[in-house]
Chains A and B, each alone.
Chain A
Amino acid sequence: MNLLEIFSYSFIWQAILGGLLIAIFTSLIGTFLVLKRLSLMGDSLSHVALSGVALGFLTKTSPLFVALPVVILSALGIIKLTKNEKIYADSALGIISALGIALGLIIAAVAGGFNIDLMGFLFGSILTISKAEILLSLLLVLMSIALVFYYYHELVAMTFDENFAKTAGINTDKINTLLIIFSAACIVIALKAVGIMLVSALIIVPPSAALQIAKSFKQTLLYSCLFSCASIILGIYLSFLLNLPSGAVIILINLLILFIILGIKYAFKKRKIA
């Protein structure tokens, strides 16, 4: 097969478009989650997404559209559990995560077990992204860009020093809730690209790589988007060419970018000391 032939398929372009939207969404939200030490939130909510997806199969409705409210409600549940430190944040994430997996496995069993469609959500199947899912991703990307643009300075201040942000009159509860709702939506949408098993990596790895080299917050957001978009395009291309699972290839490319940056940084540091 000609190396460029895959771009003649319309479903490839559809996958690239959907993937890029997902990449932008996860990078924007992921940067704040990583800096706020909420990376594990992605892991927990992805497990909850299993329940939502299974529920979708059980009720024979679009799994993503069912998973979206389920994961958002769970995210709000985590906020409620951790409010006033009734339960430690990591414990609350563990509790919600366990609940998500347990319920997901039971609902999946009732819905007819782990069929090929459910496996697609476990490990990602960007090539099968539908037009409705692309439209949903587009809507969420536009909303997340609006959120970050409108509350950019508030989000940065809250990430840097939440006490200061509160005393400056910023409604931190409202903005934190919005951020968590968008994180939940982000996780559900990203399931299509990399699956439940790897979705948290798509949220954590590109911002972590960007933070190694960025000299400003805006640069971090930009680099994170660039790394994530590059991994999606390259991941789709290589997985199709080599007949490998797309989700795994996308995440491995992201990790490769991170390790290369860390390696270069280490080498520079050593040279500086020498």
Chain B
Amino acid sequence: MDLIEAKNISHAYRGQKVLNKISFNLKEGSWTALIGPNGSGKTTLIKILLGLLPLQSGRLTFWKQEHFKELGYQEQKITPPRLMPLTAFEVVKMGLLSIKKSPKIFNKEDIKNVLQMMRTTNCFQYRNKLFTELSGGQQQRVLLARTLVNKPKLIILDEPTTALDSTSRDSFFELLAKLNKEQNTTILLITHDIAEIGKYASDFMVLDKELIFSGSKEEFCSSKAVANYFGSYTQHIMDHLHSEDSCPFPEHNHTHAPREVK
């Protein structure tokens, strides 16, 4: 089953086209890595999918109308009011709002689920601290707990690991992999970290205002469009996707989208 079906999505800011006729299907249970250089329209595309930006042209079909109840979304960084008096626990609890009717009242089971998710994402120890007083990495863990607490069928993540250290990043991806495998959770992840995501993603989308490629990891590795687009970096990427333990770029642990590599 396709969770999202996008047909010919285009978008422009003040007449400047940032997305041009993007079509793709997001299969249930897939883990799709959305890659592309800065300014390629990745975040714009995700914001259109989430309804944060209007659909200017094209067609977008979700697997059901009230899909937001089974959707988890995490931005790279959020900027809440500096004096916002909310604890990490309350922020995670917010993740349950999509499945509650107004006036939203939380029961004991909800509280239990929130605390359990905080343990799973390793942020239980600072549950009573104010969110705004946490470090960037701690905040990202709390936000991940908020994203996952309503047990979403589809998780959309926009560079969610930028503030995490390598150990936290590994456990972050392992947790997502577990959800993907055991609960058939569908994942759409924007990343520049091709080295890391190659271990997990089942599908790839390469975007640079136009959709350069969309398909499975195997198709990605043999795609001429990908080879043409990445040029001399193609072999590095392919080598890396086949060999999960080593990084093809000397003196770096993580690769980036090719146009940013100097």
Contacts and interface: CB of A to CB of B under 8 A. Distances in A.
A167 B51 contact: yes
Contacts of B98: 167-169
A156 B131 CA distance: 14
Interface stretch (A15-23, A147-155, A231-239): A147-155
A226 interface: no
> What is the size category of the interface that chain B forms with chain A?
20 to 34
A159 interface: yes
A220 B87 CA distance: 13
Contacts of A255: none
Interface string B215-234: 00000000000000000000
Nearest to A175: B102
Interface residues of A, number: 30
Contacts of A161: 78, 80, 94
B25 to A, nearest CB: 21
Nearest to A217: B85
B94 A153 contact: yes
Interface in B99-142: 100, 102-104, 130
A35 B75 contact: no
Given A153-B97, A169-B98, A164 B78 contact: yes
A154 B81 contact: no
Contacts of B81: 35-37, 159-160
A211 B86 CA distance: 11
Interface string B69-105: 1010101001011011111001100110110101110
A216 B90 contact: yes
A165 B100 CA distance: 13
A37 B81 CA distance: 8
Nearest to A168: B98
Nearest to B131: A160
A170 B97 contact: yes
Nearest to A150: B103
B85 to A, nearest CB: 5
Given A150-B103, A153-B97, A154-B104, A215 B85 contact: yes
Contact of B75 (A149, A163, A216): A163
Contact of B66 (A160, A169, A212): A169
Contact of B52 (A37, A152, A166): A166
B102 A154 contact: yes
Contact of A217 (B86, B97, B103): B86
B130 to A, nearest CB: 8
A138 interface: no
B80 to A, nearest CB: 5
A266 to B, nearest CB: 16
B154 to A, nearest CB: 11
B83 A167 contact: no
B173 interface: no
A247 B102 CA distance: 38
B68 interface: yes
B212 interface: no
Given A166-B51, A169-B69, A149 B103 contact: yes
B50 interface: yes
A262 B104 CA distance: 35
Contacts of B97: 153-154, 157, 165, 168-170
Nearest to B95: A168
Contacts of B75: 163-164
21 contacts: A35-B83, A154-B97, A154-B102, A157-B94, A159-B80, A160-B81, A163-B75, A164-B78, A164-B94, A164-B146, A165-B97, A166-B52, A167-B50, A167-B68, A168-B68, A168-B97, A169-B97, A169-B98, A211-B83, A214-B85, A216-B85
Enumerate the 5 nearest inter-chain pairs by beta-carbon distance, A residue then B residue, closest first.
A169-B68, A168-B98, A211-B83, A153-B104, A167-B73
